[in-house]
Structure 1
């Protein structure tokens, strides 16, 4: 065999192989590669969308945290104000109650002083009558001398 014929035959076989490859093998292979590239591109796009959604969600979470912190601070301040108002009201009521107790005690003491004075006047009048009886050696009639005894009580 001749080298030229071998080269020509090999060139024809190579051309048939290239044609067969281009016609039957390359299109499905290119299609598979294109589908794979599309899947990768879709995956990258989904990852980018997920990143942006995550950033948006993080931003919303931060905003909600700030709002919650502000609301919590506000509620704590309101609770402090209410607690102070309750304490002040309790103090005010305690002072009013103490003043009432003191005034009631003073009134009771004044009444007891008046009763003690009256009892003392009665005792002094009785002692004066006894003393006068002993001085006069006779009994003084309390009914007859009631006016005199009343004046004596008021003077004491």
Structure 2
């Protein structure tokens, strides 16, 4: 066989194989590689999106925690104000009750003192009449006694 004919036959077979590969084998391989590249790109884009979503979620969580702390501080401050107000109201009520009790005690003491003075006046009048009767040792009119006692009471007031 001739070297040129073999070489030409090999070149023709090579070009036929190249044409067949380019026409029927290469497009599915390229399509599979393009699909895989697209999937990888989609995966990377999804990962970037997930990363940015995660960062936003973390920022939102931090903001929510800050708001919750502020809200808790506000609630605590409001509770402290309410407690102080209730304590102040209770102190005012207690002071009012103490004042009422003191006033009532003063009135009762004044009334008791007046009763004691009245009783003392009665006793002084009885003693005075008794002393006068002993001194005089004479007959005394009951009506005159009552009149004298009334006058004595008036003088003692």
> Corresponding residue for 1:35?
35
> Corresponding residue for 2:113?
113
Matches of 2:139 and 2:30, distance apart in 1: 151
Bigger relative contact order (CA 8 A; separation at least 6)? 2
Q: How many residues align?
A: 156
Tell me: CA distance 1:142–1:74, structure 2 relative to 1, closer, same or farther (3 Å): farther
Judge conservation of contact 1:129–1:140 (CA < 8 Å) in 2.
no
> Corresponding residue for 2:156?
155
Q: CA offsets, 1:104-135, max 9 Å, x none?
A: 10110010000011112112222222333333
Tell me: CA distance 1:40–1:142, structure 2 relative to 1, closer, same or farther (3 Å): farther
Q: CA offsets, 1:55-85, max 9 Å, x none?
A: 2222222222222222221222122112111
Shift of 1:146: 2.7
Judge conservation of contact 2:133–2:140 (CA < 8 Å) in 1.
yes
Matches of 1:59 and 1:142, distance apart in 2: 107
> Corresponding residue for 1:81?
81
> CA RMSD, aligned part only?
2.2
Tell me: CA distance 1:12–1:64, structure 2 relative to 1, closer, same or farther (3 Å): same
- Is there any run of 5+ residues in structure 2 with no aligned partner, and where? none
The DSSP-based 3-state class of the residue aligned with 2:103 is: helix
- Is there any run of 5+ residues in structure 1 with no aligned partner, and where? none
Which has the higher mean CA deviation after the structures are superposed, 15-24 or 30-39? Answer: 15-24
**Length-normalised TM-score, structure 2:** 0.84
Matches of 1:32 and 1:142, distance apart in 2: 144
Shift of 1:99: 1.1
